[in-house]
Amino acid sequence: YIDDIFMTWNRSENDLKNLLNDANTWHPNIKLEYKISKNLSFLDVVLTNNNGMLSTSVYHKPAAEPYVVPFISDHPRHTFVNVIKTSLTRALRNSSTFEIFNNERIYIKLSLLYNG
């Protein structure tokens, strides 16, 4: 069973590593794996630390995107409307700035054009 968490830290990276290494001694069956970075993906969001300002954008799984159901497939027509609506909603929710949202909107448009 895997639980993922995300946290920010304002003290030194060394202090954080010491805390996490200490936490790994609390229980023999629980071991924490961690990644410390200024840019990382968590669930479906990319989180970036830009000089102390947290920004978010949509995470794109390399193996899955930019492919969507081709328009010429035999899927019901509402499927395609749902793809557009869901993609734009995801972009709106996960973009911390209008510029990031607008870049994602362009990405969605190009992906849809690419898939016919």
Q: Is residue 4 part of a domain?
A: no
- pLDDT 10s digits, 44-93: 999 999 988 999 999 998 877 666 666 667 777 777 778 889 999 999 99
pLDDT > 70 fraction of the chain, expressed in percent and rounded? 89
Residue linked to tokens 């590593």: 17
Kindly report the pTM of this predicted structure: 0.74
- pLDDT 10s digits, 85-111: 999 999 999 999 999 999 999 999 988
Q: Is residue 2 part of a domain?
A: no
Q: Is residue 3 part of a domain?
A: no
Range of the domain at 55: 13-114
- pLDDT 10s digits, 18-28: 999 999 999 99
Total structural domains within the chain: 1
